[in-house]
Chains A and B, each alone.
Chain A
Amino acid sequence: MPGDQLELMAHLMRRVGVGARRDELEELAARPYEDVVEELLHPETFTDPDQDVIERYLPTATSIELPSVPASRWIYNMANGPRPLREKMALLWHQIFATAFFKAVHARASIAQVDQFRENGLGSMRQILLDLSRDPAMIDWLDNSENHADSVNENYGRELLELFSLGIGNYTEDDVKAAARAFTGWTIVPGAPINPYEMNDPQFRFDPDDHDSEEKIFLGETVVSGEDVIEVIIKQEACARFIARHLYNFFVADEPPVPSWHQAPPVDSEAIDTLATAFLESDGDIREVMRTLLNSDFFKDARFQRVKSPVEFVGGVIKLTGAPQFPDLPMSELSRAAELMGQRLYDPPSVEGWHTGQEWFDSGTLTQRVNFAVEQVMDTSKPGIAQIIERVAADGDASPEQLVDRCLDLCGPLAVKPQTREELIERAQEGGALVFENGAGSEARERIGRMVQLIVAAPEYQFA
């Protein structure tokens, strides 16, 4: 099969998930690209195996103080589940509709919100915004439970427009006020509090007595309800462009930080136009927009143009190692690993979400990344690493250059700069040629393992 088809498939799987094993890639690369994309766009046709086993050993019910268990399970499913795009879409919406656990400290509400993203993440933008507006965690997070007919709280109305759908510059203060009034009475019925036993699920409740049912002018149209506001938003070109840019930033290439979008032009305006058109023509069907995105040349050509988020990085490493495959202690520590790299799932730092791209890096988080990756691949008994070693070994003796190239190929394939390749070759040359005969196989395998460690520590491994 053409090498480029395999590299393209590796690129696709890094973006819609966290990567794929070599045997998976070879299987996928034998199929038409568009067919694979279509399958990925329909996660509902797959079921998650072994969720009951995960629930047995890492039960959600223990997530009282912090939803770390579901966070670890999320990363695990991103790497090992049959529906990677579903998990990544949930991560995207979690990033855009950033709702932090620290305010409500209500694990069940936080978990339920992300479950909702998981279920409707490829659905219509209309439904996504409706569900979001009725989500108890969001209502609590942005104080819409304090948004009353006779005492308007603008928090949710403002962020809905600024951060969730249109972006700065595409609405007025009067629009914010109108939107806030339209969402009055959208509140929650809290569940029983955490003490003395455990928290219960809060529920959305619309209180007609607390709703401002007068007509308002929103973006030039007459509206009454929150539903009306969302209907107007969906039709806006600004919404199409705003969501298009988020999708581009998350799946194609790093954009400048979101707060600067009203000033900084998109990296690829043509791509944003294409995605925005798909959005408008499909009435905000996210699956359709994603179909356009994943089949586009700008997507196919954007290899290694994004910094992996900590969650993607951790997921990618465990995908490479093939471990853990069974719920065990290391699996429960995945969320902690991502947290040390700067991304605590269910707990974004603010309503703006995490700043992405190069902002993921500082000396501390980069060190954490490298240490985590090297530590994980160091155990050459892990199935993914053992498979790499055996495949390199199967090709027989190798020069230092061949050793480096084979390992780079099997660790991605990973494209590295010439300087990085030279440095890897220099390290490989310290051991001379890779020889398996005359009892040298064991040492050769150790050298392959060490080369894999060097590769995951390379700067290029930080990119998807």
Chain B
Amino acid sequence: MAVETNGANEASANGTYEILLRAGYPYEQTLGRRLVTFNPIDLAVGKEGRIYCLGRGPFETGGPLRILNWEDEDLGVVRRRPAEPNDRPAEADCGWIWPAGIVCDEDERIIVSDEADHTITIATRERDEEIARWGEHGSAPGQLDRPAHMAIDDEGRLLVVDTMNHRVQRFTMDGRYIDGFGSYGSGFGELDMPWGIALDGDGCVYVGDWRNDRVQKFSPSGEPLMIIGSSGDGDGELNRPAGVAVDQHGDIYVADRGNNRVLLFNREGRYVEKFLGDATLSPSALKMLMEQPILLRQRDLTVLEEEKRLRSPASVRIDGDRLLIPDFGYNRVQVYRKEAYPLREDQVAPIPTRPALR
């Protein structure tokens, strides 16, 4: 059904809106499957619909950094080390040890953090090994202790969540330290083992403050601006939040890992809704199952409700109006598509002076 929006459904120049008419956020599709997108801990969307899905296997095996497209086709893997003759494509160990985060830059170079060796690796899909790696273990400015998620600012600089140093650090892409902010604690602006990071259209920084069960918003220069969420499992509450994302409307998404869900807050930090998971069979899962008579019978005999839900999501990513959730415990990616219409101020009544029942 066509909706009259007075042309307001396009993002404004400065990317900010006062109010959205939220039409819905329907589930769209599932990508990947077990042994292809193996324990996805983060993902990045590159050019031409390429989706880089970062696997985190048990122990030191890392996992595949798998490239998919929106048709769920397997486009291969990206490696930190050269392929070996006995590498099995489905379970490719691409050379990372404890990969934690991934971003793509404008040239579609792939940047991966590794929590085991405290490094940042730069690779490309064309080459069978890394093109650069940097990072030194420590707590001094510019050193890293378990780097987690990353974000790239509008000047092409890399912001790295430095988990065990409880801070965010900014580097050039070749690893030169620029600046950083954050310190250990639970007070306003303090961090405790942060994990996720995202930037909004104004360059403000959102950090998944993992062990404080909240997200914090900082100015581009690192001044604390806002706390989002609190401990718990109710609406708007968080249990060890991991990844965080911000979309074109300023909506804030949080991978509420301990509660097996993703929460959506508006730009003011007000809770809006949650995503519990609605997975269906991805094309690759469907294809695999159709060739497995035993599995077909097993599925016919089991209760499938639980299989729809998210399990320990560690990340959440935005691509245009799509929401992508790497569904860590289920070895897949769930995708939703936002339908919302930004409104002009004159379309909406003033804020009421008191709550009313109607």
A296 to chain B, nearest CB (A): 42
Question: Is B306 a contact of A192 with CB atoms below 8 Å?
Answer: yes
In-complex Cβ contact of B281 among A63, A69, A196, A332 (8 A): A196
In-complex Cβ contact of A190 among B33, B240, B284, B302 (8 A): B302
Question: Is A192 a contact of B304 with CB atoms below 8 Å?
Answer: yes
Quick check: is A59 within 8 A (CB to CB) of the other chain? yes
Quick check: is A333 within 8 A (CB to CB) of the other chain? yes
Which residue, of A53, A63, A194, A195, has the highest number of chain B Cβ atoms within 10 A? A195
Q: Which residue of B lies closest to A197 (CB)?
A: B330
Which residues of chain A from 315 to 337 have any CB-CB distance to chain B below 8 Å in the complex? 328-329, 332-333
Which stretch from B5-13, B42-50, B291-299 is at the chain A interface? Answer: B291-299
Q: A57-B115, A59-B312, A190-B298 are in contact. Are A197 and B34 (CB under 8 A)?
A: yes
Which residues of chain B from 26 to 56 have any CB-CB distance to chain A below 8 Å in the complex? 33-34, 39, 56
Q: Which residue of A lies closest to B36 (CB)?
A: A196
Q: Which residue of B lies closest to A66 (CB)?
A: B58
Question: Is A61 a contact of B211 with CB atoms below 8 Å?
Answer: no
Quick check: is A191 within 8 A (CB to CB) of the other chain? yes
Q: A63-B58, A191-B306, A200-B306 are in contact. Are A56 and B332 (CB under 8 A)?
A: no
Quick check: is B235 within 8 A (CB to CB) of the other chain? no
For the complex, give the distance between the alpha carbons of A191 and B302 in Å. Answer: 6
Question: Is A198 a contact of B312 with CB atoms below 8 Å?
Answer: no
Question: Is A189 a contact of B34 with CB atoms below 8 Å?
Answer: no
For the complex, give the distance between the alpha carbons of A63 and B312 in Å. Answer: 13
Q: A52-B258, A68-B59, A332-B59 are in contact. Are A193 and B211 (CB under 8 A)?
A: no
Question: Is B303 a contact of A195 with CB atoms below 8 Å?
Answer: no
- Contacting residues, chain B, for A64 (C-beta < 8 A): 34
Quick check: is A172 within 8 A (CB to CB) of the other chain? no
For the complex, give the distance between the alpha carbons of A384 and B178 in Å. Answer: 38
Question: Is B285 a contact of A62 with CB atoms below 8 Å?
Answer: no
For the complex, give the distance between the alpha carbons of A191 and B330 in Å. Answer: 13
Q: Which residue of A lies closest to B282 (CB)?
A: A196
A199 to chain B, nearest CB (A): 9
A100 to chain B, nearest CB (A): 19
Question: Is B311 a contact of A193 with CB atoms below 8 Å?
Answer: no
In-complex Cβ contact of B34 among A53, A68, A195 (8 A): A195
Quick check: is A288 within 8 A (CB to CB) of the other chain? no
For the complex, give the distance between the alpha carbons of A196 and B312 in Å. Answer: 17
Question: Is B331 a contact of A189 with CB atoms below 8 Å?
Answer: no
B111 to chain A, nearest CB (A): 21
Question: Is B301 a contact of A329 with CB atoms below 8 Å?
Answer: no
Question: Is A193 a contact of B328 with CB atoms below 8 Å?
Answer: no
B25 to chain A, nearest CB (A): 22
Quick check: is B97 within 8 A (CB to CB) of the other chain? yes
Question: Is A197 a contact of B328 with CB atoms below 8 Å?
Answer: no
Quick check: is A26 within 8 A (CB to CB) of the other chain? no
- Contacting residues, chain A, for B33 (C-beta < 8 A): 195-197
Contact-size category for A: 20 to 34
Q: What 1/0 mask marks residues of chain B from 273 to 300 whose CB sits below 8 Å from any chain A CB?
A: 0000001011011001100100100110
Which residues of chain A from 325 to 359 have any CB-CB distance to chain B below 8 Å in the complex? 328-329, 332-333
- Contacting residues, chain A, for B330 (C-beta < 8 A): 197-198
Which residues of chain B from 45 to 98 have any CB-CB distance to chain A below 8 Å in the complex? 56-60, 97-98
Quick check: is B210 within 8 A (CB to CB) of the other chain? yes
For the complex, give the distance between the alpha carbons of A417 and B160 in Å. Answer: 56
Q: What 1/0 mask marks residues of chain A from 27 to 71 whose CB sits below 8 Å from any chain B CB?
A: 000000000000000000000000011001111011110001100
Quick check: is B142 within 8 A (CB to CB) of the other chain? no
- Contacting residues, chain B, for A192 (C-beta < 8 A): 298-299, 302-304, 306-307
Q: What 1/0 mask marks residues of chain B from 201 to 213 whose CB sits below 8 Å from any chain A CB?
A: 0000000001100
Question: Is B302 a contact of A196 with CB atoms below 8 Å?
Answer: no
In-complex Cβ contact of A193 among B56, B59, B97, B298 (8 A): B298
Question: Is B285 a contact of A196 with CB atoms below 8 Å?
Answer: yes
Q: A61-B328, A63-B58, A329-B116 are in contact. Are A193 and B306 (CB under 8 A)?
A: no
Which residues of chain A from 118 to 132 have any CB-CB distance to chain B below 8 Å in the complex? none
Q: A52-B258, A53-B193, A62-B39 are in contact. Are A193 and B34 (CB under 8 A)?
A: no
Question: Is B306 a contact of A197 with CB atoms below 8 Å?
Answer: no
Question: Is A190 a contact of B328 with CB atoms below 8 Å?
Answer: no
Question: Is A197 a contact of B285 with CB atoms below 8 Å?
Answer: yes
- Contacting residues, chain B, for A53 (C-beta < 8 A): 193, 211
Quick check: is B329 within 8 A (CB to CB) of the other chain? yes
B207 to chain A, nearest CB (A): 16
- Contacting residues, chain A, for B211 (C-beta < 8 A): 52-53
Q: Which residue of B lies closest to A198 (CB)?
A: B330
For the complex, give the distance between the alpha carbons of A201 and B311 in Å. Answer: 13
For the complex, give the distance between the alpha carbons of A53 and B210 in Å. Answer: 10
Which residue, of A52, A53, A193, has the highest number of chain B Cβ atoms within 10 A? A193
Question: Is A329 a contact of B288 with CB atoms below 8 Å?
Answer: no
In-complex Cβ contact of B301 among A56, A68, A190, A332 (8 A): A190
- Contacting residues, chain B, for A59 (C-beta < 8 A): 39, 312, 328-329
Q: A61-B311, A64-B34 are in contact. Are A193 and B302 (CB under 8 A)?
A: yes
Q: A196-B288, A197-B285, A198-B34 are in contact. Are A189 and B240 (CB under 8 A)?
A: no
A165 to chain B, nearest CB (A): 32
- Contacting residues, chain B, for A333 (C-beta < 8 A): 59
For the complex, give the distance between the alpha carbons of A201 and B309 in Å. Answer: 13
For the complex, give the distance between the alpha carbons of A246 and B135 in Å. Answer: 53
Which residue, of B60, B292, B331, has the highest number of chain A Cβ atoms within 10 A? B331
Q: Which residue of A lies closest to B307 (CB)?
A: A192
Question: Is B34 a contact of A194 with CB atoms below 8 Å?
Answer: yes
A67 to chain B, nearest CB (A): 10
For the complex, give the distance between the alpha carbons of A329 and B312 in Å. Answer: 21
For the complex, give the distance between the alpha carbons of A334 and B289 in Å. Answer: 36
In-complex Cβ contact of A61 among B258, B289, B304, B312 (8 A): B312
Q: Which residue of B lies closest to A336 (CB)?
A: B59
Q: A196-B33, A329-B116 are in contact. Are A69 and B295 (CB under 8 A)?
A: no
In-complex Cβ contact of A198 among B193, B240, B284, B331 (8 A): B331
- Contacting residues, chain A, for B302 (C-beta < 8 A): 189-193, 200
For the complex, give the distance between the alpha carbons of A69 and B307 in Å. Answer: 22
Question: Is B34 a contact of A62 with CB atoms below 8 Å?
Answer: no
- Contacting residues, chain A, for B295 (C-beta < 8 A): 193, 195-196
For the complex, give the distance between the alpha carbons of A198 and B304 in Å. Answer: 11
Question: Is B58 a contact of A62 with CB atoms below 8 Å?
Answer: yes
Nearest 7 pairs of A and B residues by beta carbon: A196-B285, A61-B329, A62-B58, A196-B33, A197-B330, A193-B298, A192-B307
- A-B pairs with beta carbons under 8 Å apart, 18 shown: A52-B240, A56-B193, A57-B98, A57-B115, A59-B312, A61-B328, A62-B58, A64-B34, A190-B301, A192-B304, A193-B295, A195-B34, A195-B285, A197-B33, A198-B330, A198-B331, A329-B116, A332-B60
8 additional contacts (CB under 8 A) given A191-B303, A197-B332, A198-B34: A62-B39, A191-B302, A192-B303, A193-B298, A195-B34, A196-B295, A197-B33, A198-B331
